[in-house]
Amino acid sequence: MPKTSARPRPQETLPYRIELCGDADTRRRILARAVSLQLARAIFASALAENPQGHITLRHGNRVIADSRDLATAPANRASG
């Protein structure tokens, strides 16, 4: 009986990804992958600090967990006037 290696693919072991979205969201660049949500949120925050005007998303599979566009319009982030 031959031995087969049942190695998981990287996206299975690192299910969270932080992406920088391009014009019209047609092009995405994966900035990082993470094993846990806590680490993914820290990477997302760091990516946002490095590129505050960029469109950055935190995803788990196809599900969007955080989106920098949503944060820009959140009431807590609006200037009081």
Query: Which pLDDT tens digit goes with each residue over 4-55?
Result: 666 666 556 899 999 999 876 668 899 999 999 999 999 999 999 999 999 9
Contacts 24+ apart (CB under 8 A), 43-51: 43/18, 44/18, 47/18, 47/20, 51/20
DSSP per residue over 45-75, as a string?
HHHHHH-TTSEEEEEETTEEEEEHHHHHT-G
pTM of the model: 0.73
Are the CB atoms for 49 and 35 separated by under 8 Å? no
DSSP 76: G
Please tell me whether residue 80 adopts helix, strand or coil conformation. coil
